[in-house]
Chains A and B, each alone.
Chain A
């Protein structure tokens, strides 16, 4: 029995060694697993699908050449898990990625609620966790020296607020309403906006509504009665067309509509079937794929379209992951390791990368990304785009 097993072991070992020996001849190769823990089904599927699709695409591109760490050429192997928009499944997935698959980097969840839970698992496990969750900024995780492995991929909310208030200034409105669903996202985002608006001398009334509001008549009636001149819609993005339809039909807030990351299609056709009769400005932390400002964004948009996945109104969420995959590869090369997360994180923070979103780097005070922002403006049915270039040097 024993000898038989020994023999077997030797054979297995020999078989295993053969490819390695082959690889040695052409230079060593290796695999780096990266985890993806996203909402791919359930209520928040629209949040998780664009970033996941972008990761697939980016990994494919990085793997075409691979990346060198020392004398080994590595490729990424993405392990993509669906957390079904549920907390306990998210926890099981994170556990699987960290303990079973031994990944050192996890992307997602993008959804704030789950990202808050995720970092409780990734931080003690010394695993790099990359997410666009806005709540990580609001809760101070990205400035917390005890959580050095957390990285935000959504630009700073205060720099975003500048692009947004600039939109209001372009509309020429002095009395506006800031509208958003009645939840933590609105609460976390309104602070920087209010501060910026105050500096610009704009008077802001907050109006919140239930997340799934279909009929905006009463909110618009209220804004009309208060003689508000324009609206800024924070989120959810899918409410944009309905809100604009109510504005158009009820003749409210004539100076126009501004909103975060709302596809210009909303103003061109979705709201009333033709361009809305007031100016529209979408302000966002990422470039806009529907009206690409440059060749890099255009190329990225085409590649995403080529995947055949319908990304819908949240397609710009793809910027939250796409450039960070090659940046991660560069960071590993620079750190000279694929396992030492502290070194990789330190290197990650110093990289400046020319990607689809422009010049991408990390903020010095807060571990969150800086890249090109944009405004897409619709006036009288004509679309113009304005870029707010990245401040990376």
Chain B
């Protein structure tokens, strides 16, 4: 009995760490969608870029904080460029933005292969080893990753809820036309969400670099997970994304521990379908679906 509970808690903890990564990716997807209505499919590739940038800095300097500090502006810059060069032309037709993001996937993947080759790259996690807490093995890096994700998401939440900038973001999300009338620079706000969304993907990439191998093709996995989480949490909703992300992480971990992975994806997306049907705006309620 006691052993069973310990094992359950062990799986649950293992899952939380991965779930925090999903939550961050989903937060980026959700922000961008909430304001621009663009389903940004190249987010997975941004995560991949973040991971490679972090890997280069971390291997080169041995400083993980410097790696994060580099990945954030680099990815923010990529976000800015993609918005200026590509997405701002598709704001009136968000579906075109979605399709264009597919073209970007090819470009990002190919560029990454050209720079870093297609072979998997590994890095040492900044923190090695584990603590034993009540018979649960807690990997140090997992704790660090969880802490990073928690801080980042908390900052996002605080900015959105408590600051003027955040309020204008929410205003644009709720009603772009009224916001424009009230003098909110709608286009600038949308540009900012692309920057922030990309930076979030970049931080997620930094964390992924500490967990597993990276290749130019890892993006799809994280996109799918991030997307499912954004859906379940309600598009446009950061708290929802955080909760759903942790939930997915734990669910995957429990599946790994108890039943094997076979149908996990079917359950995840099946859940997303049911939730979308039951409450189209997600469990916690989010932005209204826009017309196509």
Chain A residues in the interface with B (C-beta under 8 A): 41, 43, 45-46, 49, 182, 207-210, 212-215, 217-219, 221-222, 224-225, 238-239, 241-242, 245-246, 249-251, 270, 272-273, 310-314
Q: Contacts of B261 on A, CB cut-off 8 Å?
A: 182, 208-210
Q: Contacts of B103 on A, CB cut-off 8 Å?
A: none
Q: Per-residue 0/1 for B119-140: is the Cβ within 8 Å of any A Cβ (1 yes, 0 no)? A: 1101011001110000001011
Q: Contacts of B128 on A, CB cut-off 8 Å?
A: 249, 272-273
Please tell me if the beta carbons of A312 and B211 are within 8 angstroms of each other in the complex. Answer: no
* Given A218-B15, A251-B137, A242 and B118 contact (CB-CB distance below 8 Å): no
Please tell me if the beta carbons of A212 and B257 are within 8 angstroms of each other in the complex. Answer: no
Inter-chain CA distance A239–B221, complex, in Å, is: 15
Which residue of chain A has the shortest Cβ distance to B12 in the bound complex?
A: A218
Q: Contacts of A215 on B, CB cut-off 8 Å?
A: 14, 17-18, 142, 211-212
Q: Contacts of A213 on B, CB cut-off 8 Å?
A: 212
Q: Contacts of A239 on B, CB cut-off 8 Å?
A: 212-213
Chain B residues in the interface with A (C-beta under 8 A): 3, 7, 10-11, 14-15, 17-18, 110, 113, 117-120, 122, 124-125, 128-130, 137, 139-140, 142, 208, 211-213, 215, 217-218, 221, 252-254, 256-257, 260-262, 264-265
* Given A225-B7, A249-B139, A238 and B213 contact (CB-CB distance below 8 Å): yes
Which residue of chain B has the shortest Cβ distance to A309 in the bound complex?
A: B117
Please tell me if the beta carbons of B257 and A221 are within 8 angstroms of each other in the complex. Answer: yes
Please tell me if the beta carbons of B213 and A218 are within 8 angstroms of each other in the complex. Answer: no
Task: Identify which of A45, A214, A222 contacts B256 (C-beta below 8 A).
Answer: A222
* Given A212-B218, A221-B257, A312-B120, A250 and B113 contact (CB-CB distance below 8 Å): no
Inter-chain CA distance A48–B264, complex, in Å, is: 30
Please tell me if the beta carbons of B256 and A218 are within 8 angstroms of each other in the complex. Answer: yes
Inter-chain CA distance A225–B139, complex, in Å, is: 16
Please tell me if the beta carbons of B124 and A272 are within 8 angstroms of each other in the complex. Answer: yes
Most interface-central of A43, A207, A221, A313 (chain B CB within 10 A): A221
Please tell me if the beta carbons of A221 and B221 are within 8 angstroms of each other in the complex. Answer: no
Which residue of chain A has the shortest Cβ distance to B136 in the bound complex?
A: A221
Please tell me if the beta carbons of A310 and B211 are within 8 angstroms of each other in the complex. Answer: no
The SS class assigned to the A binding surface is helix
Most interface-central of A210, A215, A310 (chain B CB within 10 A): A215
Which residue of chain B has the shortest Cβ distance to A310 in the bound complex?
A: B117
Task: Identify which of A182, A217, A218, A270 contacts B122 (C-beta below 8 A).
Answer: A270
Inter-chain CA distance A218–B105, complex, in Å, is: 31
Shortest C-beta distance, A191 to chain B (Å), equals: 18
Please tell me if the beta carbons of A312 and B117 are within 8 angstroms of each other in the complex. Answer: yes
Shortest C-beta distance, A47 to chain B (Å), equals: 10
Shortest C-beta distance, A206 to chain B (Å), equals: 9
Task: Identify which of B15, B124, B218, B254 contacts A273 (C-beta below 8 A).
Answer: B124
What would 9 A/B residue contacts be, using CB atoms closer than 8 Å? A41-B110, A43-B217, A208-B261, A210-B264, A213-B212, A218-B15, A249-B130, A311-B119, A312-B117
Q: Contacts of A217 on B, CB cut-off 8 Å?
A: 14, 17, 139, 142, 253
Q: Contacts of A311 on B, CB cut-off 8 Å?
A: 119
Q: Contacts of B212 on A, CB cut-off 8 Å?
A: 213-215, 239, 242
Inter-chain CA distance A369–B48, complex, in Å, is: 39
Please tell me if the beta carbons of B256 and A209 are within 8 angstroms of each other in the complex. Answer: yes
Most interface-central of A217, A224, A246, A249 (chain B CB within 10 A): A217
Task: Identify which of A212, A241, A242, A270 contacts B221 (C-beta below 8 A).
Answer: A212
Please tell me if the beta carbons of A218 and B14 are within 8 angstroms of each other in the complex. Answer: yes
Please tell me if the beta carbons of B215 and A238 are within 8 angstroms of each other in the complex. Answer: yes
Please tell me if the beta carbons of B119 and A46 are within 8 angstroms of each other in the complex. Answer: yes
Inter-chain CA distance A275–B101, complex, in Å, is: 42
Inter-chain CA distance A187–B11, complex, in Å, is: 26
Inter-chain CA distance A46–B121, complex, in Å, is: 13
Please tell me if the beta carbons of B262 and A218 are within 8 angstroms of each other in the complex. Answer: no
Please tell me if the beta carbons of A250 and B264 are within 8 angstroms of each other in the complex. Answer: no
Which residue of chain B has the shortest Cβ distance to A314 in the bound complex?
A: B119
Inter-chain CA distance A75–B120, complex, in Å, is: 36
Inter-chain CA distance A249–B138, complex, in Å, is: 9
Shortest C-beta distance, A49 to chain B (Å), equals: 8
Q: Contacts of B130 on A, CB cut-off 8 Å?
A: 249-251
Which residue of chain B has the shortest Cβ distance to A209 in the bound complex?
A: B261
Q: Contacts of B113 on A, CB cut-off 8 Å?
A: 41, 45
Q: Contacts of B142 on A, CB cut-off 8 Å?
A: 215, 217
Task: Identify which of A207, A210, A221, A241 contacts B137 (C-beta below 8 A).
Answer: A221
